[in-house]
Amino acid sequence: MPHTPTPPYTSPARLLALGMVVLAMLWATLTLAQTPGDTAATVAVETAPAPQPPLPATGIRAYDAPNDGGHAITVEWTASGDDGQGRNNVVMYRVLRTPALRGPISPDSVPPGDPSYRLFDSRAYGTAAWRFIENQWDTLADVPMGSTRYENRGGKQRASNDFLPDHIEFRYKVLTINDAGGIAESEVSAPASASGQYLHTGKLLHIGIPVVIFLALVLYFINAAKSGRELYIRPLAGINAVDEAIGRATEMNRPILYVLGLGAADEIATIASLTILSRVTKKVAEHRTELLVPCYDAVVMSIAQETVKQAYLDAGRPDEYKDDIVYFVTQEQFAYVAAVNGTMLRRQTATNFYLGVFFAESLILAETGSIAGSIQISGTDRTTQIPFFVVACDYTLIGEELFAASAYLSREPKLLGTLKAQDYAKAIFLGVLIAGCVGAALQWQWIARTFHLSF
């Protein structure tokens, strides 16, 4: 078989074919050289009409989020004309951010091999990361239709992914997206930067001013009481019964049990209970009755030991004080309950005080005391436990009565003065509540705005 020579590459047919291939490659190269977005757009145009964009959000503005520790910028805009009106087909807004470069840009911030964008040199501001890219719009969040506000709250740690530095300017824009996938871009906001504030104006208005008013009332009534003005306070059965309960224990020659509750030392109810313990101990010391104070919290135990010791000293009976009066049991809720219940039943305590913070153990303690036949005086600020105490105890101090008990027991003018101040503060509260109710009924928005908590 003879060897068939291959046709020469320079034949006209070959050249034509080669030319067509080169043209095809050139066309493909040019097409592919376009950005992917452009390609998609081209294809979309060919296959289906582009979704009609909604009306854009307008009036975009960014500003430092008020009353915070920094690292947050608030973005606000006016809703699109198609959001809740017009074509009413907006589904969400997308918030985007880019750094507004005004600071120094380091030459070495250009990533090698890619001159198309530059990194924002956050190191110039003492931060560690290279993160903010000039002219790159980062998507921050999608917020649902109807929204006109987004808070860009970033991380505070420099190493964190969403770190938002203070005192560096950013610009924002908002994309409005409708149900057909149409997107409309807003204007770009003026630059804004985050910073921390040294005074929370919202808290000052809603908490600072009321506290100052309350403090003024307290000081006024303390002075009034000191100057001899008679302050009437409603008698409390639970407080009046304290003397009787201690007297009963003395007559029966049985101990008194004082439970400070399960609260830690930083709970005001526990502190209130410690103040009552001090006054009860003085009376107990005078009557020479035995006192038992089993504790749940070791810190509370330490304070209670000092309180009781000092009360014995003040009552003039330091010799009666023993270290075993106040003792630690355990920091496990139901083990503590078991221990206290055991003490009640074995020692047949004549009087039980439960004053402080209580949880599910309240009824278990009070029912056991009731079975043991003790007189029981309870008090807590836990609203859930109050009904249990009311049912099973002889006397219950409800909520704030626990805090008032110390003043009742001492009858000191300065303490009674604060009680009176509390009453007036409550009257002011009541007035505000009624105004709020009336305002809500009559749709007086300014009342709602005045008392709207801005934190």
Residue 120 near residue 131, CB atoms below 8 Å: yes
State which of residues 39, 139, 384, 454 lies at the interface with other proteins (CB under 8 A).
384
Instruction: Show contacts with other proteins in window 73-132 (CB under 8 A).
Output: none
Q: Exactly one of 60, 274, 284, 377 binds other proteins (CB under 8 A); which one?
A: 274
Window 399 to 438, contacts with other proteins (CB under 8 A): 399-400, 402-404, 406, 410, 412, 414-415, 418-419, 421-422, 425-426, 429
Q: Which CB, 74 or 422, lies closer to other proteins?
A: 422
Read off the amino acid at residue 333. Q
Instruction: Pick the closer one to other proteins by CB: 359 or 444.
Output: 359
Q: Which residues contact 115 (CB under 8 A, 6 or more apart)?
A: none
227 token code pair: 């100057």
> Taking CB under 8 A as the rule, does residue 46 contact other proteins?
no
Closest separation in Å from C-beta 302 to other proteins: 5
Residues 293-352 touching other proteins, rule: CB under 8 A, are 295, 297-299, 301-303, 306-311, 313-314, 323-324, 326-335, 337-338, 342, 346
Q: Determine if 271 is a binding residue for other proteins (CB under 8 A).
A: yes
The correct pick among 74, 109, 147, 275 for binding other proteins (CB under 8 A) is 275
Which residues 127-166 are close enough to bind other proteins by CB under 8 A?
Answer: 153, 155-157, 160-162
Q: How far, in Å, CA of 312 to CA of 250, rounded?
A: 16
Q: Among 17, 268, 438, 440, which residue sits at the site for other proteins (rule: CB under 8 A)?
A: 268
Q: Which of 63, 137, 214, 220 binds other proteins (CB under 8 A)?
A: 214
191 within 8 A of 169, measured Cβ to Cβ: yes
Residue span binding other proteins (CB under 8 A) among the ranges 17-25, 96-104, 112-120, 205-213: 205-213
Sequence-ordered list of residues with C-beta below 8 angstroms from that of 70, at least 6 positions apart, any chain: 156, 166, 194, 195, 196, 197
Under the binding rule (CB under 8 A), the answer on residue 397 touching other proteins is: no
Strand intervals (E) in 31-181: 58-64, 72-78, 90-99, 138-144, 149-153, 170-178
Q: What share of the chain is helix, strand, coil (3-state, %, to 5)?
A: 45, 20, 35
Cα 64 to Cα 257: distance, rounded to the nearest angstrom: 57
The total of other beta-carbon atoms located within 10 Å of residue 234's CB is: 9
Site size toward other proteins (CB under 8 A) is 99
Q: In sequence order, which residues have a C-beta less than 8 Å from that of residue 372 and are 6 or more positions away?
A: 344, 345, 348, 349
Nearer to other proteins (CB atom), residue 63 or residue 214: 214
